[in-house]
Amino acid sequence: TGIHGQAGNYVSVNTDLIINYNSSTTIPALVLIYPIPFSNGALTPDYAVSGSPMLTGSGSSSNTVTVKSYNKKIDHMRFVAKDEATDEVLLEMYHPIEYTFGNFLIDNIQLCPSPNVRMLNGPKVNINYDFKNNANMSARVFVTPFTNGSPTSGAVTSISPLHNVGSGSESAYFSINIGNAIVDQLRFRVTNGDQSQLIADYFIPVHYVFGDATTPVIEVKDIVSDIQIFPNPTVNDANLEVQVKEDQTVQVMVLDLSGRVLLDLGTRDLNADSPEQWQIPTASLANGSYLVRVEGNAFKTVKKLVVLKQ
């Protein structure tokens, strides 16, 4: 608990990022804790982590994490707690975090329309962002929609102006002109001015559904108090908690990114202002991203679940 990093969210390579956290254990053995950086669902390349102090009981501690090559964005930390004597893994959990190591930062990304909408083929998703270019060269930024790890078919994207050394703001867009598609990520690819050198690839999660027919987007904020999945990402089973503002029947399903139903978690009658939990079993799910569809009498929404097994 109490996890937070120190050093700012944009640091140079080989800069130690201090990870502070609180821990508590009831076992008599000494415990070691290691934070491991992850980027886009995989171990961050070229990372280094300090050794763990010997922990027992309750208290506060810290580790340092760094990245030794340019332009890596850490989006999660995997905390691993081990028995010092036996090396047995006692606990493993993922914590969302955002740090960029390198010389080119993309920040303050604004999408219009916002994610979690259905759109017809053709209309643009407009993207505005800030950047800091310390790469000692002009650069270009190309935004590409991705579906299940690959560029989305039928996409049209904007060209990139030069991003000069220093700080500034820019914009881009994309659209899906043909076919039905679910966009689950945007890749921000940074190159030098003539596109002969790759500077960085940054990914952000989104959820857009495109097609040649659409239905109205249903606002859920006035109907649902809370919907959350935890832990997320998960290495084992996850939990879904739903709390509605009025009595209604709610159905939960897990889908792949193409919309195919993988798990039907059933239908329950929920009482207003009373949290209800579903367990999401992941034994049959491979590593990757999934959609958890929650549908009530008066609302329908989708949450993203990331499975990251060892």
49: CATH: 2.60.40
Note whether 255 and 292 are same-domain residues: yes
Note whether 183 and 229 are same-domain residues: no
Q: What is the mean pLDDT of residues 11-21?
A: 86
Domain annotation covers residue 216: no
* Per-residue pLDDT, 214: 45
Domain annotation covers residue 194: yes
Query: Which of 101, 133, 158 lies at the terminal end of a domain, its last residue?
Result: 101
Query: 60-74, 90-104, 130-144: which has the highest mean pLDDT?
Result: 130-144
Note whether 205 and 112 are same-domain residues: yes
Note whether 201 and 113 are same-domain residues: yes
Residue 104 in contact with residue 136, Cβ under 8 Å?
Answer: no
Closest by CA to 307, choosing from 215, 199, 232, is: 232
Cα(first)–Cα(last) distance of the chain, in Å? 23
**Is pLDDT of 217 > 60?**
no
* Per-residue pLDDT, 221: 58
* Per-residue pLDDT, 137: 95
Q: What is the CATH number of the domain that holds 127?
A: 2.60.40.770
Structure tokens at 179: 């076919």
Query: Which of 79, 101, 123 lies at the terminal end of a domain, its last residue?
Result: 101
Note whether 93 and 110 are same-domain residues: no
Note whether 67 and 109 are same-domain residues: no
Domain annotation covers residue 25: yes
Query: 79-83, 159-163, 306-310: which has the highest mean pLDDT?
Result: 159-163
Query: Which of 101, 128, 163 lies at the terminal end of a domain, its last residue?
Result: 101
Task: Provide the b/e sequence for 14-35 (b: ≥16 CB within 10 Å).
Answer: eeebebebebebeeeeebbbbb
Confidence of residue 222 (pLDDT cuts 50, 70, 90): low
**Is pLDDT of 249 > 50?**
yes
Note whether 204 and 109 are same-domain residues: yes
**Is pLDDT of 55 > 50?**
yes
* Per-residue pLDDT, 224: 79
| Range in 63-72, 100-109, 291-300 the model is least confident about | 291-300
**Is pLDDT of 198 > 60?**
yes
Note whether 31 and 96 are same-domain residues: yes
Total domains in the fold of the chain: 3
> Can you say how many angstroms the Cα of residue 49 is from the centroid of all Cα atoms in its chain?
22
**Is pLDDT of 220 > 70?**
no
Confidence of residue 215 (pLDDT cuts 50, 70, 90): very low
Residue 41 in contact with residue 287, Cβ under 8 Å?
Answer: yes
Query: 21-35, 99-113, 159-173, 198-212: which has the highest mean pLDDT?
Result: 159-173
Note whether 176 and 232 are same-domain residues: no
Task: Provide the b/e sequence for 93-129 (b: ≥16 CB within 10 Å).
Answer: bbbebebbbbbbbbeeeebeeeeeeebebeebbebeb
Structure tokens at 2: 């109490």
Strands (E), 134-283: 139-147, 150-151, 155-157, 166-176, 181-192, 198-211, 224-230, 238-244, 248-255, 261-270, 276-280
Dist CA 262 CA 24 (whole Å): 37
Dist CA 275 CA 178 (whole Å): 41
Find the domain containing 154 and state its range: 104-211
Confidence of residue 67 (pLDDT cuts 50, 70, 90): very high
Q: What is the CATH number of the domain that holds 280?
A: 2.60.40.3080
* Per-residue pLDDT, 260: 72
